[in-house]
Chain A
Amino acid sequence: MIVQNQKLNPKLFDQDVEQIPIRKGFGEGLLKAGEMDKRIVGLCADLTESTQMHLFKQKFPERFVEMGVAEQNMASVASGMAAMGKIPFITSYAMFSPGRNWEQIRTTICYNNQPVKIVGSHAGVSVGPDGGTHQAIEDIAITRVIPRMVVISPCDAIEARKATLAIAKTMSPTYIRLAREKTPIITTEETPFEIGKAQLVFEPNHSKQNDMKSDIIGENRSNEKRVDEERAEIGIIATGALVYKAIKVANALEKEGKKVKVLNISTIKPLDENAVWELAHETGAIVTVEEHQIMGGMGSAVAECLARHYPVPIEFIGVKDVFGQSGTQNELLEHYGMDEKDIKEAVNKVLLRKK
């Protein structure tokens, strides 16, 4: 069941669950951040509406710079503005920023330690018909490897808005990854968000399996046995737009009697190592889910953490070292093995590997 104290969207499993592009949340968040802090400036490389920076531009034209199709220049101009006390947000498609301008981001933003916020929209294969040139599936790898960079990957539009407001208040170079397509709303206004904190969004339904009241009143079972029964047997760690699919799979598995936990990694770097460790410790089997190359992505970050602290079998859902192509979102997620059935298969596979 979805975790109650996270105050998630109660209509999460409805057929007509509300769907909003994640990038919209960014646009609203930036507008609000701009209202609260005069230091915020916006730069865009000829994709103002597409990246949802137009809201900020309309309200604060004097704090907006149209860069034209020049992402390298955009990164370093932002660095210069930050050196004068601004907090610049730069937007383009993730393929071009941080794709094309990686070295400028490394040297003039991170090496220089300037608080520039890099907003990469249209990440993942879900961009769809535009084809492989426009599908950024390497962006997590190339940003998280740069010292000082914070990497954020919101799971829905509401979380994207909160994340945007949160990163606007920090002095760290930050990359925030956004998806283009409509994505089901998972969180609500009340759901907590904190940079560097993973959120447990799905957990086994204890009330069905045992009567909690009898535990407290009757003391008819040992604590150890109770803990054992409540323990989840599989942990799914997901990020971005695929968190929704991970939750749906967990829900289906629960109906089959499996005890599943789902962790939403909204901050990929710094990784919430405690949350990852705890989940591995409890379940002993992990599946990571992301719309990104398996190599170097969020799953790799999880594997790096667990290999050091608590090695357990891991299965990775993601793109397997190939480029994308044109197609619908569903066609592509299915083709590249990131659909619900793939997550389910990975769960079964990792359970078999579990000792």
Chain B
Amino acid sequence: MPNEEGMHIRLATALSKIVFQYEEVSVTFIKSHQRADAKSPLALLTLGVGLDDEVVLEVEGPNATTLLAELEACFLKGFSSEE
């Protein structure tokens, strides 16, 4: 997690929004055995991902690679909540 504020609300909702565009893909975020469906921003938030925390993404379905690229771009964009 590159973002200093960790997984904040706007980041979580932005990630969910992307995942929603890929109806047939299921994306799960995993942080120390805790799993969260990426279609639920609330679930992503409950993982409590902070700066430098490691998160594993489990992606299943067609177009998984494009989706991953989009998610990565979203992460790297930073999305500081002050933006």
Does A associate with B in a complex?
A: no
Q: Which B residues are closer than 8 A to A by beta carbons?
A: none
